[in-house]
Chains A and B, each alone.
Chain A
């Protein structure tokens, strides 16, 4: 059984650019959630995808968007990058549905916006 993987591990972008982060969920999981963790803070919920549909969104602007694919892997896209977008981006997979199970996190992608 493979765990949650994310790519790339590190990324440097400049303000105004666009970025795509990728997440492969753990085998058997159908739900992916994305979180943003600024330095010294707890992760903040961005959104969740369940069976390819958005299933809840946190307090993030529309320039944060996502996709979930039929194999339940996922992408997070951020347009018009701002300096404050610099953070560790974490994805978590779980088996969702009628019962919310433990969320398993990937190692994260560290994004630096200059």
Chain B
């Protein structure tokens, strides 16, 4: 069974500290992995998409890595700000269920001023 897991479920850091969010998946036959941000009661905002042939993607303060052999992706957010407070979800698209995103439960992040 293909599963995507995010640990921890919640995280609190002081402003300015770097954030490290983890995502693990059970099937290495992955097509791509996407990171999303969700604000309370809102839809999902796409942050980064990593294709299976890539090892990382960067956008501004965000960097995401992908290691298929270990079944892990990590999202780094540099110099966190209170505006980064949100729930972060990772989602994998596997080769045998192409187009279907399998989501983790998310990590709720609070950045304190």
Contacts and interface: CB of A to CB of B under 8 A. Distances in A.
Given A100-B31, A102-B34, A43 B41 contact: no
A55 B99 contact: yes
Nearest to B106: A42
A2 interface: no
A42 B104 contact: yes
A62 B32 CA distance: 29
B105 A41 contact: yes
B64 interface: no
* Size class of the B contact interface (CB-based, 8 Å): 20 to 34
Contact of B44 (A48, A96, A105): A105
Given A31-B99, A42-B104, A103-B46, 15 more contacts: A33-B99, A40-B105, A42-B4, A42-B105, A42-B106, A43-B101, A44-B103, A45-B101, A56-B100, A58-B100, A92-B44, A96-B99, A101-B49, A103-B101, A105-B43
